[in-house]
């Protein structure tokens, strides 16, 4: 049977491994346990939450959110939807379930082993050289395979967050723009009196403790204790890898580099692309087409995120949600929000006109 080597046991590598049948898969993860150390906040939209719930178990989706409070220099905006539009994924349960599924297919998942790039036929792993028929590069945002195969370095953004014991406010996600020089910051209640408070910046912040306290202060969240910090880096949007190299080496997840321009999330693109990649192992043009299609939409969204001040996003979201045009899937597909923003004044007018008539 032909052999697929997967480098990286994060959500991207494990999802791909859990979907491959009729081939041998050998997956390498450099850390001793899947899903650790943790770096992600784990907030996703309906498409991504449904994808993982169907693939694994509904238990990987811990909870959903309808209420968002945006804090901007122009004021605070509460946006409330009639249905849950954002969801919190349970980690490392997600990685554990993906690893179980891949193992049950007979695949070999090796933890504590770092792979190194050699060429389009083999990698170095542990003490040996391992040959492959296909290589799936899923080594995250800072992995060395991107540099090796694309011949350049990437620029990053830095995300840091604290697990917080807090009081009240269990149902609202807070999003802030421009606090303490951060691109944006957040407080996400995750249940049982715990929440995640964090921020994304262009460069490291000297004292994460006081930065997180500032985030909590602006959000007006009362907290008892900061229980610990974790974080990582995000690829700056717009620095894509080639989707594949000669139909032998495929990139996915942060290694591919598709990141949502408003929230900087990457899990949506894993959910969108994992199955397409697996189905394209013999026909890379299909994968390339889908990556390019998503990249075009992503670049349209980036164009809009670049021209407006981010402070304009919440009032726009409020208009779209009150026009009744919002569909929960729009959380992941911002280009739909942009189109609906353009259409909503007209539709609100037509609705009013119809009801008066």
Ligand X SMILES: Cc1cc2nc3c(=O)[nH]c(=O)nc-3n(C[C@H](O)[C@H](O)[C@H](O)COP(=O)(O)OP(=O)(O)OC[C@H]3O[C@@H](n4cnc5c(N)ncnc54)[C@H](O)[C@@H]3O)c2cc1C
Terminal Cα distance for the chain, rounded: 68
Q: How big is the CA angle at 253 (ends 46 and 312), to the nearest 5 degrees?
A: 55
For residue 261, which of 316, 335, 198 has the smallest C-alpha distance? 335
Rounded distance between C-alpha atoms, residue 332 and residue 334, angstroms: 6
Q: Which residues of 127-151 are buried (b: 16+ CB within 10 A; e: fewer)?
A: eeebebebbbbbbbbebebbeebbe
For ligand X, the closer of residues 4 and 255 by Cβ is 255
Query: Cα(254)–Cα(156) distance, rounded to whole angstroms?
Result: 11
Residues in 289-328 at the binding interface with ligand X, rule: CB under 6 A = none
The answer to the question of residue 17 lying near ligand X (CB under 6 A) is: no
The answer to the question of residue 4 lying near ligand X (CB under 6 A) is no
115 binding ligand X? (CB under 6 A): yes
238 near ligand X, judged by CB under 6 A = no
Choose which of 189, 195, 231, 314 interacts with ligand X (CB under 6 A). Answer: 231
Residue nearer to ligand X on the CB measure, 189 or 344:
189
Residues 41-100 that bind ligand X (CB under 6 A): 41-44
Stretch that binds ligand X, among 177-185, 261-269, 304-312, 338-346 (CB under 6 A): 261-269
Residues 129-188 that bind ligand X (CB under 6 A): 138-140, 143, 159, 161
Q: Of 4, 5, 6, 12, which lies in the binding site for ligand X, with binding defined by CB under 6 A?
A: 12
To the nearest whole angstrom, how small is the minimum distance from the Cβ of residue 350 to ligand X? 35
Shortest Å distance, C-beta 334 to ligand X = 13
Q: Could you check whether the bond before residue 109 is cis, i.e. omega within 30 degrees of 0?
A: no
The string over 62-75, giving b where at least 16 C-beta atoms fall within 10 Å of a residue's C-beta and e elsewhere, is bbebbbbbbbbeee
Pair 136, 123: CB distance under 8 Å: no
Q: Tell me: does residue 18 bind ligand X (CB under 6 A).
A: no
The CB density around residue 15, as the number of other CB atoms within 10 Å, is: 30
- Are 233 and 141 spatial neighbours (Cβ–Cβ below 8 Å)? yes
Instruction: Return the residue of 99, 216, 234, 294 that touches ligand X, per CB under 6 A.
Output: 234
Does position 189 interact with ligand X (CB under 6 A)? The reply is no
- By beta-carbon proximity to ligand X, the closer residue of 189 and 325 is 189
**Which lies closer to ligand X via its Cβ, residue 24 or residue 30?**
30
Q: Does 195 bind ligand X (CB under 6 A)?
A: no
Q: Would you count residue 243 as binding ligand X (CB under 6 A)?
A: no
> Cβ–Cβ contacts within 10 Å for residue 247, how many?
16
Applying CB under 6 A, the residues found at the interface with ligand X are 7-13, 28-31, 39-44, 114-115, 138-140, 143, 159, 161, 198, 231-234, 253-255, 265-268, 270
């Amino acid at each position: 049977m032909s052999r697929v080597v997967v480098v990286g046991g994060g959500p991207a590598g494990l999802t791909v491994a859990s979907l491959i049948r009729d081939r041998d898969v050998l997956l390498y993860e450099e850390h001793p346990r899947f899903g650790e150390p943790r770096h992600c906040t784990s907030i996703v939209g309906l498409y991504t939450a449904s994808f993982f719930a169907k693939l694994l178990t509904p238990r990987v989706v811990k909870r959903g959110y309808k209420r968002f409070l945006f804090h901007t220099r122009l004021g605070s905006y509460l946006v409330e939807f009639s249905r849950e539009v954002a969801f919190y994924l349970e980690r490392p349960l997600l990685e554990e379930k993906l690893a179980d599924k891949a193992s049950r297919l007979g695949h070999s998942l090796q933890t504590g082993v770092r792979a190194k790039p050699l060429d389009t036929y083999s990698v170095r792993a542990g003490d040996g050289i391992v040959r492959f028929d296909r290589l799936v590069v899923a080594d995250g945002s800072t992995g060395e395979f991107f540099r090796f195969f694309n011949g350049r370095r990437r620029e990053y953004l830095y995300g840091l967050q604290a697990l917080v014991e807090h009081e009240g406010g269990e149902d609202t996600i807070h999003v802030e723009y421009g606090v303490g020089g951060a691109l944006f910051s957040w407080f996400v209640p995750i249940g049982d009196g715990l929440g995640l408070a964090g921020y994304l910046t262009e460069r490291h912040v000297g004292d994460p403790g006081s930065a997180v306290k500032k985030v909590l202060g602006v959000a007006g969240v009362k907290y008892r204790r900061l229980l610990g910090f974790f974080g990582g880096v995000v690829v700056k949007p717009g620095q894509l890898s080639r989707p594949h190299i000669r139909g032998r080496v495929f990139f996915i997840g942060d290694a591919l580099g598709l990141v949502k321009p408003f929230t900087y999330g990457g899990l949506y693109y894993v959910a969108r692309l994992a199955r397409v990649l697996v189905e394209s192992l013999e026909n890379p043009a299909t994968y390339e087409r889908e990556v390019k299609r998503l990249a075009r939409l992503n670049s349209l969204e980036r164009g809009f995120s670049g021209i407006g001040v981010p402070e304009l996003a919440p009032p726009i979201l409020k208009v779209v949600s009150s026009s009744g045009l919002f569909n929960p899937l729009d959380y992941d597909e911002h280009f739909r929000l942009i189109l609906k923003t353009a259409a909503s004044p007209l539709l609100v007018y037509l609705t009013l006109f119809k009801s008066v008539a």
